[in-house]
């Protein structure tokens, strides 16, 4: 019985590690909502370049509404939006602090964060992060009263 439990536990953790290894981001590239909110609220002039790749109208918001200071490119699973994002990034230094988010749904089913984050990797950015919205923007950001446009 103990052996069976042990084997199940090892299998679970191995599979979980394999899933994380397949993601285009690392654990160190996740930023917690509270940390980004504190940065925005601090009034620091050097805010990260905050990028939204959410579908238009996601979260029940009008287009252009989202995290304070974010630039909205639309759903990154649409090639035209990904091209617009790439064009905006080309002029930035490779060490620019960038925070990417979608928040339409949990990470495991989100169609937008992987193509956008992969693009940042392909473009050789070195200081980019993914906002760790475990459920969605409404639950993990808006309901906590974090800054919005």
pLDDT in tens, 61-87: 555 678 999 999 999 999 999 999 999
Mean predicted confidence (pLDDT) in 44-72: 81
Dihedral sign, Cα of residue 8, residue 13, residue 16, residue 21: negative
What's the whole-number mean pLDDT along residues 2-15?
48
CA distance linking residue 85 with residue 76, whole number of Å: 8
Average per-residue pLDDT for the chain: 85
Least Cα distance to 25 among 104, 135, 99 occurs for 99
Condensed to tens digits (0 to 9), the pLDDT of residues 100-143 reads: 999 888 888 999 999 999 999 999 999 999 999 999 999 999 99
- 9 pLDDT band, cuts 50/70/90, is very low
Domains within the chain, CATH numbers bracketed = 26-144 (3.40.250.10)
Supply the DSSP string of 17-70, one letter for each residue. Answer: HHHHHHSSS-GGGEE-HHHHHHHHHTT-S---EEEE-PPTTGGGPPTT-SBTTP
CA distance 55 to 75: 4
For 53, phi then psi, to 5°, come to -120, 30
Q: How confident is the model at residue 6 (pLDDT cuts 50, 70, 90)?
A: very low
């Amino acid at each position: 019985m103990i052996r069976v439990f042990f084997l199940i536990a090892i299998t679970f953790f191995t599979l979980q590690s394999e899933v994380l290894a397949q993601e285009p981001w690392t654990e160190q590239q996740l930023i917690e909502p509270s940390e980004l909110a504190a940065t925005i609220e601090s009034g620091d002039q050097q805010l990260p370049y905050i990028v939204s790749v959410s579908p238009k109208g996601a979260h029940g918001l009008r287009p252009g509404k989202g995290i304070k200071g974010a630039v909205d490119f639309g759903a990154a699973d649409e090639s035209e939006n990904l091209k617009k994002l790439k064009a905006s990034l080309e002029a930035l230094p490779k060490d620019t602090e960038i925070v990417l988010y979608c928040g339409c749904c949990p990470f495991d089913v989100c169609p937008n964060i992987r193509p956008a984050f992969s693009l940042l990797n392909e473009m050789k950015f070195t200081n980019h992060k993914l906002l760790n919205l475990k459920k969605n923007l409404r639950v993990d950001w808006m309901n906590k009263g974090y800054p919005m446009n």
